[in-house]
Structure 1
Amino acid sequence: MADYILSDELREAVHVAEITMRPLLLKGEPGTGKTLLANYVAEARKLPLFRWHVKSTSLAKEGLYFYDAVARLNDSRFPEEEAMLRVRDVKNYIRLGALGEAFADPKKSVVLIDEIDKADIEFPNDLLLELDKMEFFIPETKEMITAKERPLIIITSNNEKELPDAFLRRCIFHYIEFPKREAMKEIILAHYPRINTELMEKALAMFYTIRKIESLRKKPSTSELLDWIQVLLHTGETLSSDQIPFAGTLFKSEEDYRVHLN
């Protein structure tokens, strides 16, 4: 990912996580590149990446393994010898999750646990032992899965809920600040190296002016700025001080859209 700009502070946080062999917990506004860091590190170091995108219904166990009892029951309905042999071996119905695959991989890897704060409050606590010991037990097969190489675990949170202290103690923490103007120029140029300087400066001025509006429900993020610039470049639209073309690219709620009209 040549277009990902890694700040010195974030580079240091990754380095500290590797030295201590603890998960790196990232917080920051949506669109500041928390999730993309895992892709960047994996690509830069040519390591396999295992992704676990957490949902509100996610359970900690799903990141380790899943026993498909329904598939096994369904297969047991068929009398063929091949089907019966498959049913007898419970291993055929065990699927490893992202952490499980990383532990089983003989090589070092990167694990992304994305938006951990979406799940139940007990979700992080249910992973404490596995993150400490880098191993877990599968009772259905009576197997202990132990990491051969301790993976670099990157965890993201959007601050939707507080994370337990016991979990936080086991992590290296880094807050990704929203990019200042000069840093944002680097990001834009990494994505659109041939952009006209005047257009970029006008777009940045308008973008940061918008972000200063206190009444906005959701301030536009880096990803929305990049989308907006892409549209401007594609259409050849010019910017003036009295209008915001393609405002729906920057504003993502009816209230914010009305604010810009006023």
Structure 2
Amino acid sequence: MRFEGTAAYVADKDLMVAVNAAIALERPLLVKGEPGTGKTELAKQIASSLGLELIEWNVKSTTRAQQGLYEYDAVSRLRDSQLGDERFNDISNYIRHGKLWEAFTTDKKVVLLIDEIDKADIEFPNDLLQELDKMEFHVYETGETIRAKHRPIVIITSNNEKELPDAFLRRCFFHYIRFPDIETLHRIVEVHYPGIKQKLVSAALTQFYEVREVAGLKKKPSTSEALDWIRLLVADDVSPEDLRGDAKNALPRLHGALLKNEQDVHLFERLAFLARRQG
């Protein structure tokens, strides 16, 4: 079982090596990188490439590790007992299965995505150590132990919002997705928009990387934002010549697809003002 990339996802050699190493070691693959570099999409493409089901656990700031295992609905059981409902006699009726339970009990191997683990509390990764290591957990309310029928391929993504505990990192295979160079991003654009005008793509990507390299930029535009921007340029039938426009106007065409906060817009406006003064 090896991941060789897909037609819909441009994966470099290092990334494919990392995925296959994690599969061989039966360790979770921890993927970090800038937002928009395809970390979540990687898990989807691994599942597609290997013909496996994908189970997604999207982590939020309020998510607890226990929710990935199961939750006991004591309130519903109390209500049913007061109403004389026969369901009350079987406590398993009030156990809600989490994503790990689902992944452990499927009849076939699956890909389990734990997305943006760094959004949760700092104790969240530590609380999953044993379950991800042993591939089992105990249900105290029913006394049963849930063991993985087939060890899932676990993909964990992080945007580096918080440092992850060392004990957790030791149990993972790590890969950092670097921001793609211009040739790789050109290939990514071609995958998403086959047959697109090459001169426009070349001009747009040249300007895109110039925007990313501006000193003082609060949020650099990501791969997904580059794709959105190029799509808008094509929709507006912008020519490569019109794309550059006046050199003194520092703001790129349709800049709302690239610049996502007022500080960065003001930065480019100041650069345009300085360029006009120097002119």
> Per the shorter chain, which TM-score range?
over 0.9
Distance (Å, rounded) in 1 between the aligned partners of 2:46 and 2:164: 25
Give yes or no for the alignment of 1:13 onto 2:22: no
Counterpart residue identity of residue 138, structure 2 = F
Give yes or no for the alignment of 1:139 onto 2:140: yes
The Cα shift of 1:236 comes to 1.3
Number of aligned residue pairs: 258
* Structure 1 pair 20–213 and aligned structure 2 pair: CA distance change class (3 A): same
Distance (Å, rounded) in 2 between the aligned partners of 1:60 and 1:90: 21
SS at match of 1:149: coil
Q: Which residue of 2 aligns with 1:122?
A: 123
Structure 2 matches for 1:141-180, cutoff 5 A?
A: 141-180=142-181
> Normalization by structure 1: what TM-score?
0.95
Q: Which residue of 2 aligns with 1:240?
A: 244
Distance (Å, rounded) in 1 between the aligned partners of 2:76 and 2:88: 9
Structure 2 matches for 1:1-262, cutoff 5 A?
A: 2-79=7-84, 84-238=85-239, 239-242=243-246, 244-261=252-269, 262=271
Name the Cα RMSD after superposition: 1.3
Structure 2 gaps of 5+ residues are 1-5, 272-279
Q: Deviations over 1:97-156 (max 9, x none)?
A: 111110011210101111111111111111111011000011111110000110000001
SS at match of 1:136: strand
Distance (Å, rounded) in 2 between the aligned partners of 1:121 and 1:240: 46
The Cα shift of 1:245 comes to 1.6
Q: Deviations over 1:225-254 (max 9, x none)?
A: 001111111221231243522111101110
SS at match of 1:124: helix
Distance (Å, rounded) in 1 between the aligned partners of 2:63 and 2:168: 17
Structure 1 gaps of 5+ residues are none
Distance (Å, rounded) in 2 between the aligned partners of 1:28 and 1:91: 40
* Structure 1 pair 232–104 and aligned structure 2 pair: CA distance change class (3 A): same
Distance (Å, rounded) in 1 between the aligned partners of 2:32 and 2:82: 49
Distance (Å, rounded) in 2 between the aligned partners of 1:49 and 1:12: 21
SS at match of 1:76: helix
Counterpart residue identity of residue 98, structure 1 = K
Distance (Å, rounded) in 1 between the aligned partners of 2:64 and 2:24: 29
The Cα shift of 1:76 comes to 3.4
Further displaced range: 184-193 or 119-128: 119-128
Q: Deviations over 1:15-65 (max 9, x none)?
A: 000110000001111111111111001111121111111111111111111
Distance (Å, rounded) in 1 between the aligned partners of 2:76 and 2:45: 36
Bigger relative contact order (CA 8 A; separation at least 6): 1
Distance (Å, rounded) in 2 between the aligned partners of 1:56 and 1:158: 13
> Normalization by structure 2: what TM-score?
0.89
Further displaced range: 92-101 or 65-74: 65-74
SS at match of 1:189: helix
SS at match of 2:215: coil
Counterpart residue identity of residue 4, structure 1 = Y
Distance (Å, rounded) in 2 between the aligned partners of 1:163 and 1:125: 9
The Cα shift of 1:77 comes to 4.1
Distance (Å, rounded) in 2 between the aligned partners of 1:127 and 1:159: 18
Further displaced range: 1-10 or 42-51: 1-10
Q: Deviations over 1:82-104 (max 9, x none)?
A: xx222221212212111111001
Distance (Å, rounded) in 2 between the aligned partners of 1:69 and 1:204: 56
Distance (Å, rounded) in 2 between the aligned partners of 1:163 and 1:229: 35
